[in-house]
Amino acid sequence: MTSETTLARFEKYSESLTQSCIQNPKIIGLVLVGSTAETQRVDEWSDHDFFVITEEGDQEALRQNLGWLPESNSVAFSFRETEHGLKVVYQSGDVLEFAIFSCNELRACMVNHHRLAYGDEPVVKALTEAANRLPPVVIGDDLADFRHFLSVLVIQVGRARRGEEITAGQGIHGTATTALLKVLTRRLPADPRLDTLDVSRRFEFVHPEIGKAIAEALAQKPEPAARDLLKISEKYLAPVWPDFPKREVGTVKDVFSWTS
């Protein structure tokens, strides 16, 4: 639940950011994304996500010099996260995640939850193209993604039995869980609260029982985590997927002699 104080503080920073961008002649637009655009989701742990739009050629100067940010003298540290994006942490613990684009770069992006803080017609057109590029649901092939999930379990449990528990845990927590979540998201009832760019975001809010089960599975060592993820797939996917691949699931169980 968002307290009025938390939300007011969050929105105050958004307003300061907007004014800082407007006052900078190199910046021609600002797009708020994620919970920064949909503030009903803001809580004390929310960071500020946004796109800064510049004329072609001005992007890198703004990435290199962050003096245009509000309260830039209170920045504790920052780093380049992607080709276009940076992450900034203030001394207060507040976090910014943003990218700096030209209109051409924005046009090539995908964006879901967003709100234009300001920008002229070229910015609006580029943003519209980026938003229209995004599919309304997570796209993919259920059988291929599920087989990917199963294959990762086979590889990573093998590594865990070899003694490589660190890499096994990473694979099961990351690749395997993401593949399973893709199938669950497509097979279970659609919900606009789910993030079409990141299937793990807000999954627990939409499907609390399954989300809790997955979280509990992942709190274990690699092999029991993998075994429980497989049980979760059977429990929640088989009833809603007429062609649920029971044979493939049986193969994985046989490989590791999982009888329960």
CATH, residue 82: 3.30.460.10
Q: Based on the domain organization, do 112 and 184 belong to the same domain?
A: no
User: pTM for this one?
Assistant: 0.69
- 238 and 122 within one domain: no
Residue type, 118: Y
Final residue of a structural domain among 100, 133, 166? 133
Give the number of domains in the chain: 2
Same domain, yes or no: 113 and 231 = no
Q: Are residues 128 and 13 in the same domain?
A: yes
Question: Do 48 and 168 belong to one domain?
Answer: no
Residue that is last in its domain, among 84, 110, 133? 133
For residue 62, give every residue at least 6 positions away whose Cβ sits within 8 Å of its Cβ, in sequence order, or none.
24, 26, 27, 52, 54, 68, 100
Residues 10, 124, single domain; the answer is yes
Same domain, 31 and 115: yes
pLDDT of residue 196: 63
Q: Which DSSP string corresponds to 198-215?
A: -TTTTHHHHSHHHHHHHH
- Per residue of the chain (260 residues), give pLDDT as tens: 455 698 898 999 999 999 999 999 999 999 999 888 888 888 888 889 999 999 999 999 999 999 999 999 999 999 998 899 999 999 988 899 999 999 999 988 888 788 999 999 999 999 998 888 766 566 678 999 999 999 999 999 999 999 999 999 999 999 999 999 999 988 887 766 666 666 767 788 788 999 999 999 999 999 999 999 999 999 999 999 999 999 999 999 999 999 87
Q: Which domain holds residue 190?
A: 142-256
Same domain, 150 and 90: no
Asked whether residue 116 falls in the same domain as residue 12, the answer is yes
Check whether residue 150 and residue 121 sit in a common domain. no
Three-state DSSP state, 84 = coil
Task: Tell whether 115 and 201 lie within a shared domain.
Answer: no
Q: Is 107 helix (H, G, I), strand (E, B) or coil?
A: helix
CB 31 within 8 A of CB 111: yes
Domain boundary, last residue among 106, 133, 160: 133
Angle between helices 208-218 and 222-237 (to 10 degrees): 160
- Residue 179 Cα distances to 56, 153, 193, 229, angstroms: 37, 11, 19, 11
The answer on 91 and 11 residing in a single domain is: yes
